[in-house]
């Protein structure tokens, strides 16, 4: 059984072209993986906050004791680890969507599980 992680980065929930494209890609993926699991994350509805000094310090703690601070980062990493395939619906907003960069930063910096 395969798992798809779908990340929607558009600021718009209604009328979004990238969500419509991602809907189609997800539909085709589910045709090919009828028993597959889809994990969804919408950066508009569930924004990933900016990195803070508290969070960076929590990442750097050798014993990873500040679980409260790293909870979201841990959850994002867990979603990525569970995924066999990743689908990102992202508009171009003068480059890449700001929130997507933040999301990726948390994944890169924030592997507090070692
Ligand atoms: C503030 C803003 C900046 C944008 N910058 C770019 C850009 O640099 N390059 C581009 O090709 N499209 C750009 N666009 C167009 C969007 O990528 C396009 O409207 C896209 O459909 C938005 O995604 P959505 O329909 O899923 O919300 C920009 C749109 C907005 C509102």
pLDDT tens-digit map of 55-89:
889 988 888 888 888 899 999 999 999 999 999 99
Give the nearest ligand 1 atom to 18 CA: 26
Name the pTM for this structure.
Answer: 0.83
Q: Is 62 in the pocket of ligand 1 (CB under 6 A)?
A: no
Residue 9 has pLDDT above 50, yes or no: yes
Q: Give the contacts of 73 (CB within 8 A, at least 6 positions apart).
A: 55, 59, 106, 107, 109, 110, 111, 112
pLDDT at 51: 85
User: Per-domain residue ranges for the chain?
Assistant: 3-109
* Residue range 3-109, CATH number: 3.40.50.360
Mean pLDDT, range 87-103, rounded to an integer: 73
Of 8, 24, 34, nearest to 88 by C-alpha is 8
């Amino acid at each position: 059984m395969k798992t798809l992680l779908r990340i929607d980065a558009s600021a718009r929930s209604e009328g979004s072209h990238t969500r419509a494209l991602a809907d189609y890609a997800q539909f085709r993926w589910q045709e090919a993986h009828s028993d597959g699991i889809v994990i969804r994350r919408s950066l508009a509805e569930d924004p990933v906050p900016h990195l803070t000094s508290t969070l960076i310090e929590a990442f750097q703690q050798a014993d990873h004791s500040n679980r409260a601070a790293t909870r979201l980062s841990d959850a994002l990493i867990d979603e990525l680890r569970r995924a066999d395939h990743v689908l990102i619906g992202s508009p171009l907003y003068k480059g890449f969507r700001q929130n997507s960069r933040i999301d990726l930063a948390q994944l890169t910096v924030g592997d507090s599980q070692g």
